[in-house]
Amino acid sequence: MADLQKLIDFVTKTNWLILFFGGIIGLVLTPMKFALGIILGGLIVAINFHLLKRTLKTMIQPEVVLERGRSVVGNVLVKYYIRFAVTAGIICLLISKHIVHPVGLLAGLSVVVASIFVATALEISRLLFKEAV
Amino acid sequence: MEFLVGSVWAAGLAIGIAAFGCGIGQGMGLNGAMAGISRNPEAAGKIQVNMLIGLALIESLCIYALVVAMILLFVHPAIAPAVKALGGL
């Protein structure tokens, strides 16, 4: 359990780190709109991840599940759709007003996926290393 | 003009199918989690962490589809001439 909690902390920290370094690299090497896409996209998914974490921490508890049963599923899905609608509105505004470059935005939106892949790669390498020893 | 109509159709279908699929995927995942916690409440912590990773990945897929739909609607190179031809709607 402690290992799993560590994994989540790692993913959360890596989100902000990738966003920070991606933003800096974007600002230095790419045009302003592209860098803004990376930064805003990264911010959107990092905040989304935090909200998802909070929702799951409050909902996926033995007491809540035993008390409410399957209605927890509907509750989490409604929250997901509200979050998704807000995200859709922001992304629509960013792209339709040409505030950001769409490819930069896609890169920024991949921050959470990238940090999960990094965490997975580290876990796999740790497993392989353990087996080798 | 046909290209514009095709783009609008593609954008609508893309986000519609993606949201539908992600909703079903999340629902199935949550359903399994609820069943697991009901049977074994001590496993709630482990299930919570794995759910978080899984749901984050599912959500990002839907966001990608949304961005592709937005690109088809607003940034596609054929959109500006088509809108101009329609009288700058």
Percent of chain B scoring above 70 in pLDDT: 97
| The pLDDT of residue A5 | 79
Query: Long-range contacts: B28-32, Cβ < 8 Å, 24+?
Result: B29/B54, B29/B55, B29/B58, B30/A72, B30/A73, B30/A76, B30/A77, B31/A70, B31/A73
Question: How far, in Å, CA of B4 to CA of B76, rounded?
Answer: 9
The predicted-structure confidence for A61-110, as pLDDT tens digits, reads as follows: 777 777 777 777 888 888 888 988 899 899 989 988 889 998 899 999 99
pTM of the model: 0.82
> Who among B53, B59, B67 is closest to A106 (CB)?
B67
Tell whether A40 is within 8 A of chain B (Cβ). Answer: no
ipTM above 0.90, yes or no: no
Structure-model confidence comparison of residues B86 and A18, the more confident one: A18
How would you class A39 by CB atoms within 10 Å of its CB: exposed for 0-12, middle for 13-18, buried for 19 or more?
A: buried
**B57/A88 Cβ within 8 A:** no
pLDDT above 70 (res A48): yes
pLDDT above 70 (res A18): yes
What mean pLDDT comes out for the span A34-48?
Answer: 93
| The pLDDT of residue A14 | 92
Question: How far, in Å, CA of A23 to CA of A20, rounded?
Answer: 5
| The pLDDT of residue A39 | 94
Confidence tier at B49 by pLDDT (50, 70, 90): confident
Confidence tier at B78 by pLDDT (50, 70, 90): confident
Angle between helices B44-70 and A71-96 (to 10 degrees): 30
Tell whether B52 is within 8 A of chain A (Cβ). Answer: yes
The predicted-structure confidence for A116-132, as pLDDT tens digits, reads as follows: 999 889 888 888 887 66
Q: Which of residues 92-111 of A touch B (CB under 8 A)?
A: 92, 95-96, 98, 102, 105-106, 109-110
| The pLDDT of residue B89 | 54
